[in-house]
Structure 1
Amino acid sequence: MTDDPLLVPLTSGVPYYSLRHGQSVWSPRQKPSFMVYDDWDLFWIQRGAVTIAFKDRRRLVAGVDEFIVLPPFTPITMSAAKPGVVLAFAHFSFRLPRPFAMDSAQAKALEGDALGPGPDALLPMKFDSSEAPAVWQAYGDLLQLRPSPSEPWRIERALVTLVAKLAGFAVRRTRAHPSGMVLTPQRIDARVETVRQRIDADPSFHWRISALAAEVGISPSQLQRLHATAFGETLKHHIVSTRLRMAITLLRGRSNGRPRSIRDVSSACGFSSPNYFCRRFKAQFRITPLAYRNGEMTV
Structure 2
Amino acid sequence: MTVDHMSWTGLPTQADAEIDVNRHILTGSLVAHDHDFVEVAVVEAGTAVHETLYGRRGIGRGDAFVIRPGAWHAYRRCAGLAVVNCCFRARLLEHELLWLVGEPRLRLLVHPGREADDGVVPVRLPGAALRYCQDALQRIAEPPPQAPRPHQVAHLLLLLRGLACELDAEQVAEAGRLAGTPSVVADALRLLAADLARPWRAQELAAAVAVSPAHFSRLFHRAVGRPPMAHLAVLRAEAAASRLLRTADPVADVGAGVGWADPNYFARRFRARFGMSPTEYRARRAGDVGGRS
Task: Normalising by structure 2, report the TM-score.
Answer: 0.48
The structure with the larger Rg is 1
Higher normalized helix content (fraction of residues): 2
